Amino acid sequence: MVDTGKYTESEATILHHFFTNTGDTYFLKNFPDPEVAALFVASYSRNKKTLLDMFLDTLIDLDIIEPHNKPIKKQIKDLKKQDSTSDIEAKIKELNLELYSESSTELRQIRPDLVAESFSKWAQKITNIENDKDSKELMETLGPKAQGLFAVWADKYGHDSLKDMAHGLGFACENVSNIFSVILEDHRLGDYQEKSTRYLEFSEGSVLLPKEFAGTIWESKINENTRIVMQTYRTVLEDIVNYLKANRKKPNEIKDSAWDAAIKAEAFDNARYILPTRIKTNIGQISNARTLAEQLSEMLVSSIAEVRERAQEIKTEAEKVFPTLLVNVYKNKHMAEAKETMRNIGLVLEDKLKSHRYNENSVKLIDCTNDLDNKIIASMLYEAVSPKYTWQDCYDLTSSMAIEEKVTIVETFFANRVHEHDRVDVLTGKTETRMYNHMPMHALDGGKLKFEIVMDYGAFRDVHRHRRASQRRQLLTTDLGFEIPRMVKEIGGEMEAKYIEAMTHSANLYNELRNSGEFPPEVLQYIPNFAFRISETIEMFYVLPLRTTPQGHFAYRKLFQQMFLEVRDVMPLISEHIKPDMNEYQLGRLKQEQRYFTKAEERGLDESQLIKPG
């Protein structure tokens, strides 16, 4: 059991019942429903706090505990004066909460009202109020508060990310680098939520000193680089906010709160280029034991100390929850040796390679299935005809069809994809009509499109999360140069000069470390900033509409717009129905923020319940 001393004895009692320890790596346990665990893990992306602190804050919001007289510390609240603090602690220790809901094999669809009901019942167990009258009173008190708390998340950021998290058991890794988080998220079968660089501000204290450099002659140089880049980050962030307030005019119909949030969001989107990859993040994962075992077997033999050590911590904590399933996780030394052998082969063959490198953010279609339109249309027909006909029969027919017939099939297949749907606000009871755009995913499985993308590391992190895609990437270096974000270019002058100076300092430090020969290339990835470019191949196009929405980051919006232009040339019929947003936007998140603050006002949510950039 890890006890950091950060929490009071009462808090620790609660936390140790629901988490395997109170350190930086821990598993969730004893949660009443997977929905509740999912919501806490999903909160990572918009919150600076640890999951443990968010958990305690939620208990405060639901009146289960109350704030202590010290800002961080809290204590158990005796709601009805029926139990002393020690009595409540004892009852918590005796709880035997069910992990899964009554739906057993089928997980319930996550809705704020169901989560609120689940959480309220759980609260009743914690406080042990058995009297019917008191129980009813507690439900009446907790129900609306829980609904408000969870509806804020579900309505601003959508339900899909919460659904992703509603299975298996979860764990948290906090204060890890962005190098670690990418390696953890490489596995395509896990579900992840991570601290957002697009929504939260970072400080110099948020930067990790990798163990490989600690205590060496390089430590002071790395600390100096941290000071320079984080100072630049703060300056650029503040200057962009001030510039936008002075040079952008707020439309009359836009709320002040939404305008301020959109400006802050735009500033974060530009300033994040300066963050070094060793910036600390918090990440939550929910997966099954098999996925976790595969992750650990690779991570335990990593050439990066942080990855090896965190993997061992995860394994130790996981064994408390999966006492038998993870006992025999092995260190996959064979894979590590194969990677090293391939790297040596690559070094030998580099002299024979002809370079076609492009040192700017770009998308290039490098391979695709021949006759892609006809093969996808054949796959559409294949499901519609009787079993006596093969896929080849469908393809032969499709290939001989007139263009008008093909268009009819495609349009019929995609008909009613965009439709209206009434959605009830669980807090106000009002019904609103929303437009939904459903892409029949299996329709696009009739062939392959492989792209090579060169992008800044920040954009890569966003693209990397699309786990349905098959991705292969090169190591991050400073060799491909760095991007200058659009607001830094627009403002120019001293700000742009400082930005370039900070990036150049990182590049020079990287080259010094590489030339020293003391560190493997994987470890050197800690030095570049998010602005530096990385190259990878990726097979996908199903996310084109998703990643070109106005609220998306301008870096990856441009990449996916370029990807669509490449797709359109090789599959003109099908591409007509992909529908990406090809427009450019200033303050792209303004519409999203306006909708959020309008709904919050309708619900009567107070300032403390709102989620804002910062």
pLDDT digit string (tens) for 304-357?
A: 999 999 999 999 998 887 776 776 787 888 888 888 888 889 888 888 888 776
> Closest Cα to residue 194, out of 95, 52, 47?
47
- The average pLDDT across 31-48 equals 64
Q: How deeply is 429 buried, as exposed, middle or buried, from its count of CB atoms within 10 A (0-12, 13-18, 19+)?
A: exposed
Q: Mind listing the pLDDT tens digit for each residue in 455-486? A: 999 989 888 877 777 788 899 999 999 999 99
Q: Copy the structure tokens of residue 305.
A: 């100390």
Is residue 511 within 8 A of residue 420, CB to CB? The reply is no
Provide the 8-state DSSP code for 354. Answer: P
> Does residue 223 share a domain with residue 282?
yes
Is residue 274 within 8 A of residue 232, CB to CB? The reply is yes
> Does residue 311 share a domain with residue 460?
yes
pLDDT surpasses 50 at 378: yes
DSSP state string for 409-475 = HHHHHTTT-EEEEEEE-TTT--EEEEEEE---GGGGTTS-EEEEEEEEHHHHHHHHT-TTSEEEEPP
Which of the listed residues 388, 420, 444 is the one where a domain comes to its end?
A: 444
Predicted confidence band at 122 (pLDDT cuts at 50, 70, 90)? Answer: very low
Provide the 8-state DSSP code for 72. Answer: S
| DSSP H stretches of helix in 300-421 | 305-321, 333-349, 372-382, 391-400, 403-413
> Does residue 316 share a domain with residue 216?
yes
Is residue 457 within 8 A of residue 529, CB to CB? The reply is yes
Q: How far apart are CA 462 and CA 361, in angstroms?
A: 14
- β-partners of residue 172 are 26, 284
Q: Give the distance, in angstroms, between the CA of residue 292 and the centroid of all CA atoms in the same chain.
A: 18
* pLDDT winner (highest mean) among 18-27, 224-233, 354-363, 378-387: 224-233
Tell me which amino acid residue 188 is.
R
554 within some domain: yes
How large a percentage of the chain has pLDDT more than 90?
A: 31
Provide the 8-state DSSP code for 110. Answer: P
Percentages (nearest 5) of helix, strand, coil residues in the chain: 50, 15, 35
Q: Mind listing the pLDDT tens digit for each residue in 275-303? A: 999 999 988 888 877 888 889 999 999 99
Is residue 586 within 8 A of residue 557, CB to CB? The reply is no
Q: What is the Cα Rg of the chain in Å?
A: 26
pLDDT surpasses 70 at 509: yes
Q: Copy the structure tokens of residue 419.
A: 């439709």
- β-partners of residue 431 are 424
Axis crossing angle, helix 112-127 with helix 132-157, rounded to the nearest 10: 140
Q: In total, how many domains does the chain have? A: 3
> Does residue 537 share a domain with residue 410?
no
Q: Copy the structure tokens of residue 258.
A: 């939404």
> Does residue 432 share a domain with residue 329?
no
459 within some domain: yes
Q: Copy the structure tokens of residue 326.
A: 């993870």
At residue 539, φ and ψ (nearest 5 deg) are: -110, 100
Q: Copy the structure tokens of residue 578.
A: 């992909």
Is residue 178 within 8 A of residue 281, CB to CB? The reply is yes
> Does residue 421 share a domain with residue 335?
no
Pairing of strands 449-456, 418-424: unpaired
Q: How deeply is 226 buried, as exposed, middle or buried, from its count of CB atoms within 10 A (0-12, 13-18, 19+)?
A: buried
501 within some domain: yes
Range of the domain at 375: 370-444
Record the pTM: 0.74
Look over the chain and give the mean of its residue pLDDT values, rounded to a whole number: 76
In three-state form (DSSP H/G/I as H, E/B as E, the rest C), the secondary structure along 295-308 is: HHHHHCCCCCHHHH
Enumerate residues 6+ apart whose C-beta is below 8 A from 80. 127, 129, 134
| pLDDT greater at residue 354 or residue 149 | 354
> Does residue 482 share a domain with residue 565?
yes
610 within some domain: no
> Does residue 237 share a domain with residue 180?
yes
> Does residue 163 share a domain with residue 243?
no
Which of the listed residues 400, 422, 444 is the one where a domain comes to its end?
A: 444
Predicted confidence band at 536 (pLDDT cuts at 50, 70, 90)? Answer: confident
607 within some domain: no
> Does residue 535 share a domain with residue 456?
yes
pLDDT of 159 reads 40
Q: How far apart are CA 223 and CA 527, in angstroms?
A: 11
614 within some domain: no
Report CA torsion sign: 213, 214, 216, 219: positive
Q: How far is CA 17 from CA 53, 64, 525, in A?
A: 15, 15, 38
Q: How far apart are CA 518 and CA 133, in angstroms?
A: 70
Q: How far is CA 290 from CA 13, 259, 327, 470, in A?
A: 30, 45, 12, 20
> Does residue 457 share a domain with residue 308?
yes
Q: How far apart are CA 393 and CA 375, in angstroms?
A: 11
* pLDDT winner (highest mean) among 97-111, 216-230, 363-377: 216-230
| pLDDT greater at residue 579 or residue 305 | 305
At residue 168, φ and ψ (nearest 5 deg) are: 65, -160
272 within some domain: yes
Report CA torsion sign: 69, 74, 78, 84: negative
Provide the 8-state DSSP code for 148. Answer: H
Q: Give the distance, in angstroms, between the CA of residue 335 and the centroid of all CA atoms in the same chain.
A: 27
Q: Mind listing the pLDDT tens digit for each residue in 399-442? A: 999 999 999 998 888 886 666 666 666 555 667 666 666 666 56
pLDDT surpasses 60 at 164: no
- The continuous run of DSSP H or E covering 281 comes out as strand 280-287
Is residue 182 within 8 A of residue 461, CB to CB? The reply is yes
> Closest Cα to residue 570, out of 451, 469, 449?
449
Q: How far apart are CA 256 and CA 262, in angstroms?
A: 10
526 within some domain: yes
- The average pLDDT across 529-557 equals 78
- β-partners of residue 427 are none
Q: How far apart are CA 517 and CA 410, in angstroms?
A: 57
Which of the listed residues 429, 444, 459 is the one where a domain comes to its end?
A: 444
Q: Copy the structure tokens of residue 354.
A: 């002809």
Q: How far apart are CA 562 and CA 365, in angstroms?
A: 10
Is residue 479 within 8 A of residue 471, CB to CB? The reply is no
Is residue 314 within 8 A of residue 171, CB to CB? The reply is yes
> Does residue 210 share a domain with residue 131?
no
Tell me which amino acid residue 129 is.
I
pLDDT surpasses 50 at 146: no
* pLDDT winner (highest mean) among 21-35, 166-180, 310-324, 356-370: 310-324
Q: How far apart are CA 506 and CA 76, in angstroms?
A: 48
**Count of alpha carbons within 13 Å of 387, Cβ hemisphere only?**
0
